A and B are shown apart, each in its own frame.
Chain A
Amino acid sequence: MATNTRIILICSGKGGVGKTTLTANLGIALAREGTKTVVLDADFGLRNLDLLLGLENRIIYTAQEVLEETCRLDQALVKHKQEPNLALLPAGNPRMLDWLKPDDMQRIVKMLENDFEYVLIDCPAGVEEGFKNAVSATKEAIVVTNPEVSAVRDADRVIGLLNTNGVKPVQLVLNRVRPKMIANQEMLSVEDVTDILALPLLGLVLEDEEVIVSTNRGEPLTLSNVNSPASICYSNIAKRLKGEDIPLIDPAKSGSSLKNKFMRLMQTKIF
């Protein structure tokens, strides 16, 4: 069956840049807009998407049982309490890594395509087996990076691999942006990053302590604190993903009284 389901891999190369956080928040933001969305944890080694979404204690079956056909897909899917349009397909136990093949990933995604408009795949770090399995099942990708040389270098490597695997389109999210540090030239600017990666920029996410608070609470920011800076960024990314035209502003070009300008930009929801 041919579907219009958008299958999007969220990947980065380097670990800890914010893939899982982005997957969880995009999932909530898309679901809130009425889009039927499923998030799939492809990080079998270090699963924590369930934790971020606060769904850990509701897991009964996982992708593993679905593949082994010891349960049905709908039994394994965990529906989000507050956002019923969002479901999670949990990763199986880490030993699954030993036998999981690209074919298995493709089978899972095929099943999900029937019931969802968006399939977001949280990719493991690195470019090895786990990454290759996830790439084989996706159509599009979002590459997440931080304004740091090493993260950008790894992102570039991943983009090369996505290109050779025919994944299209590939878009960029720059996470943990600190306008003040960019203004003081202590951090790579948005331009520095896009200059090397040469990808369309889907959005920036500001550095925001609330992200950490919400992570520990198991409630994505987009759910519990819709007005925090990062939360606004995530919602805008979700809207752009759906094709809404929300302009981007480069923090480097927003002039002198940065702080004030930023407050204003945040209120006008530009990130």
Chain B
Amino acid sequence: MAEEITETQFISLPPSRKADWTKAIKAKIYPLKPGPVLIDSADWQLGYREIKRLKSILENSGLRLICLNSDLPETLVSASALGIQTHLNITNTINSSMQNTPKTINERNSQKIFFQKGTLRSGETLEVQGDVLLLGDVNPGAHISASGHVMVWGRLRGVAHAGKEGNKQATITALQLRPLQLRISEVIARGPEEKPEEGLAEEASLEKGIIVIKPASIRAFADE
């Protein structure tokens, strides 16, 4: 008996224009056969909860999400938190070199998000006003800091400081959160020793004056 071979199907969502994404998705998957699927979510801003919903919509049609492409790092970080493979659609607004100064990709409530691609190696420092998103690793001996949130789409193994001007709501998120040291506002903690669980993004935040680490939520990326 011949084994059935299913090829990965690809769907690409239209630009968001603030429409209802569930309708767009349902229209797109209607003609698909059950099997693996790759979705390009364009500029749709999907949080943790939306992506969970997306997965269940797909599963109801027998579709398995194998990779999510997006223009937005925020969407990708949420998806990565759910263990989904992700891919950033690189556009010319995004710089891909450590040598250049960080560029602003999003301005929201006057809080800027700086985006940078590349690995921070030992001795290198990235210091940002606003939130920072690094696509790459922070190696031991490297420092990343921000007055707002620190988000690392990669492995955080150096030192991270969020809310360095005193913001106690600031968080530190990474696909692998195994820093040497974490700082939020003035609170300092040494990184955890145990090996991280595969594919689960983690988030450090301040609770009652202590730094705690939990599976990543969408808090850091939600519209405030």
Contacts and interface: CB of A to CB of B under 8 A. Distances in A.
Contacts of B139: 156, 196
A156 B141 contact: yes
A164 B99 contact: yes
B99 A160 contact: no
A163 B141 CA distance: 17
B35 interface: no
Contact of A153 (B119, B124, B137, B141): B141
Greatest chain A CB density within 10 A among B98, B121, B123, B157 is at B121
Interface string B112-129: 000000010111100000
Given A196-B139, A196-B140, A157 B98 contact: no
A192 to B, nearest CB: 11
A157 B99 contact: no
A153 B140 contact: yes
A112 B25 CA distance: 63
Given A164-B98, A196-B140, A157 B119 contact: no
Contacts of B137: 198
Given A164-B98, A164-B99, A157 B140 contact: no
Interface residues of A, number: 10
A65 interface: no
A156 B141 CA distance: 9
Contacts of A163: 98, 121
Contacts of A208: none
Nearest to A195: B155
A162 to B, nearest CB: 10
A156 B120 CA distance: 10
Contacts of A159: 121
A154 interface: yes
Contacts of A157: 121-123, 141
Interface in A146-197: 153-154, 156-157, 159-160, 163-164, 196
Contacts of A160: 121-124
A153 B140 CA distance: 7
Contacts of A154: 122
11 contacts: A153-B140, A154-B122, A156-B121, A156-B139, A156-B141, A157-B122, A157-B141, A163-B121, A164-B98, A196-B157, A198-B119
Interface of B: 98-99, 119, 121-124, 137, 139-141, 157
Given A164-B98, A198-B119, 5 more contacts: A153-B140, A156-B121, A157-B141, A160-B123, A196-B157
